[in-house]
Chains A and B, each alone.
Chain A
Amino acid sequence: QVQLQESGPGLVKPSETLSLTCTVSGDSVNSPNYYWSWIRQPPGRGLEWIGYVYFNGNTNFNASLKSRLTMSIDTPKNQFSLKVRSVTAADTAFYFCGRWSVVKSAVDYWGRGTLVTVSS
């Protein structure tokens, strides 16, 4: 059974960097069949796709966030990570990691999500 679990600080100060890690079990981040993705959802609002990292380190980001994003993959630890620089209150959201199937072009497995609040 594929499982994903987000981890990282729940509180980040404005202008600092938000850092999250997703640990994958039941599958390998080294698979060419999936893009390892991040999606976020401000409390009570809709979903926003952030981007993904591929097994070879290639990335694809939402154009609106691209200038502030870094994503990476750690094959030995079977993890992938997200960094968002220069955060503001608008970055407060539930952050979900997900497995984007290349064949289906959809997120077929999701983490439970973690709330990150940007506040001083």
Chain B
Amino acid sequence: DIQMTQSPSSLSASVGDRVTITCRASQTVDTYINWYQQEPGKAPKLLIYAASHLQSGVPARFSGSGSGTDFTLTINSLQPEDFAVYFCQLNYSDRPFGQGTKLEIK
């Protein structure tokens, strides 16, 4: 089974900061990675699919990159509504999610 390891598990930042969240696959997965945002008490929301494609309606300050085993989600100029939990997901096989990264206000 392919395992997805996300880091860090939590992150403190300020409005206006640039943050990066990483996801590592236990074996090469090409660009088969999605990123989701989950606000407290809500369903996840798709941000990035196929590693780098921005979902319609998602602000351009969100971007994704990577291929093979290492992937990153970058948020430029953090806004108050961006403080949430972020998950990566492999989009085939058992479609495992990463453990999540909680982005908190510093």
Contact = CB atoms under 8 A, between A and B. Distances in A.
Interface of A: 46-49, 62-64, 96, 101, 104-108, 110-113
Top-6 shortest CB links A-B? A110-B43, A49-B95, A105-B91, A106-B49, A47-B97, A106-B34
Interface in B27-47: 32, 34, 36, 42-46
Given A104-B49, A104-B50, A105-B92, A110 B44 contact: yes
A108 B96 contact: no
Contact of A113 (B43, B96, B97): B43
Contacts of B98: 46
Contacts of A63: 1, 94
Contact of B45 (A47, A48, A104, A110): A110
Interface of B: 1, 32, 34, 36, 42-46, 49-50, 53, 55, 87, 89, 91-92, 94-100
Contact of B87 (A47, A104, A105): A47
A64 B48 CA distance: 26
Given A105-B32, A110-B43, A46 B87 contact: yes
A111 B92 contact: no
A106 B36 CA distance: 10
